[in-house]
């Protein structure tokens, strides 16, 4: 029986789908460090995580039974996806399932900060009545600057315009502007134009330290700042200085360079206690609707990969869309992308009298993936011959 380990309090749908597919599923609520993860992965074929568990090269090297990883979130920077690919471990994520949830909390944060709701709320809880319009503004007519115009940034752009905002954006890749949004050619141009600056960049290492003292100084006086993307992108000590000085009027932060592994663990940040600052525990995409959708999406992807070999939307393997074919025996052969592999596979099959019912090949960088459907049971000698080839990465027989 295939074994699955699901960490970090995934939605019950994730477990239900896998158990229905015949997996022996173990769940844990928190994240695991490297040593704990290696121990827990003994004999495990499928690992499901969110953002706090790091799957390093060392973890992968010591987990030979691991076949697939499901990242039940948008990002995969917590996984060494290149090393996983080199070991034949398919990785899947959920790039779209919680987009709406992040966009909605961004809109809520923007309105709350612009109206200084955090300070009014704190005063009321302290028993102080202070009815005043000072420092409170409508978002209509103000300019929203979006850094990172991907799935979240584009949807936020559309909703912000519907609320009467002007939108400018900056992205290092060429992106189509939606609605009346205007592309800024440099980050400096965006910071000079925006009343609200919000980050929605991905977790690539090149984004580390993207926003620091220089960028905060370039923001318009009285602007507000949001980071719902990655914690390591922002220098939070510089953000604190900008808020204390009054140059930045408020901030909403959902992600941090170091985050507690488990609920209830202590949280420390230089941003605690500052006025007009909203701090949330990495819950931008954590709505019940989003978590259910993510649980369904990722579990279906990893289930299908293990059952049929389908790699559609895998982040690190060549993509092939496959369905289960009754009455065939499927060979899923992941190999190094060198000339002559397909010919060698077919020659090996022919030598052993295997009739090919269907075959597909895809490549991605240094890897190739050839899936062959045979009309009869495949002799173990065929598997031994293919696995012994120098270009072999992983061979699975699915029948």
Q: Can 230 be counted among the known catalytic residues? A: yes
Which of 53, 52, 295 shows the shortest CA–CA distance to 44? 53
Measured from the Cβ of residue 100, the count of other Cβ atoms closer than 10 Å reads: 18
Half-sphere exposure of 315 (CA within 13 A, CB side): 23
CA dihedral 363, 369, 374, 379 (to 10 degrees): 140
SS3 336: strand
Helix (H) or strand (E) holding 115: none
* Catalytic pick among 115, 116, 230, 330: 230
* Catalytic pick among 36, 83, 192, 259: 259
SS3 270: coil
Please state the three-class secondary structure of 131-167 as a single string.
CCCCCCCCCCCCEEEEECCCHHHHHHHHHHHHCCCEE
Which of 94, 69, 64, 90 shows the shortest CA–CA distance to 7? 69
* Catalytic pick among 45, 200, 220, 282: 282
The catalytic residues are 230, 259, 282
């Amino acid at each position: 029986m295939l074994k699955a380990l699901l960490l970090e309090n995934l939605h019950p749908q994730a477990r239900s789908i896998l158990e229905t597919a015949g997996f022996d599923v173990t769940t844990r609520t928190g994240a695991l460090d490297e040593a704990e993860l290696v121990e827990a992965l003994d004999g495990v074929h499928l690992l499901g995580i969110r953002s706090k568990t790091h799957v390093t090269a060392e973890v992968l090297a010591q987990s030979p039974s691991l076949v697939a990883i499901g990242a039940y979130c948008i990002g995969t920077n917590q996984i060494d996806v290149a090393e996983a690919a080199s070991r034949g471990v398919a990785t899947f994520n959920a790039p779209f399932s919680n987009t709406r949830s992040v966009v909605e909390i961004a809109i809520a944060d923007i309105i709350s900060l612009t109206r200084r709701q955090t300070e009014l709320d704190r005063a009321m809880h302290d028993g102080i009545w202070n009815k005043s319009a000072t420092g409170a503004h409508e978002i209509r007519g103000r300019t929203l600057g979006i850094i990172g115009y991907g799935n979240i940034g584009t949807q936020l752009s559309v909703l912000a315009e519907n609320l009467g905002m002007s939108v400018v954006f900056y992205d290092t890749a060429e992106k189509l502007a939606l609605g009346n949004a205007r592309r800024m050619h440099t980050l400096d141009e965006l910071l000079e134009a925006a009343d609200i600056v919000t980050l929605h960049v991905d977790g690539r290492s090149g984004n580390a330290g993207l926003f620091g003292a220089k960028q905060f100084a370039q923001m318009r006086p009285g602007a507000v700042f949001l980071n719902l993307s990655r914690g390591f992108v922002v220098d939070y000590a510089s953000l604190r200085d900008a808020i204390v000085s009054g140059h930045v009027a408020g901030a909403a932060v959902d992600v941090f360079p170091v985050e507690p592994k488990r609920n209830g663990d202590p949280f420390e940040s230089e941003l605690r206690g500052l006025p007009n600052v909203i701090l949330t525990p990495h819950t931008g995409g954590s709505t019940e609707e989003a978590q259910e959708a993510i649980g369904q999406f990722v579990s279906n992807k990893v289930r299908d990969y293990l059952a049929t070999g389908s790699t559609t939307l895998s982040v690190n393997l060549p993509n092939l869309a496959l369905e289960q074919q009754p009455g065939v025996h499927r060979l899923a052969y992941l190999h190094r992308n060198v000339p002559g592999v397909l010919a060698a596979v077919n020659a090996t099959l022919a030598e052993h009298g295997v009739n090919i019912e269907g075959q597909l090949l895809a490549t991605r960088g240094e890897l190739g993936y050839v899936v062959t459907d045979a009309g009869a049971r495949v002799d173990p000698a065929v598997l031994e011959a293919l696995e012994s080839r120098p270009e072999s990465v992983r061979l699975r027989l699915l029948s």
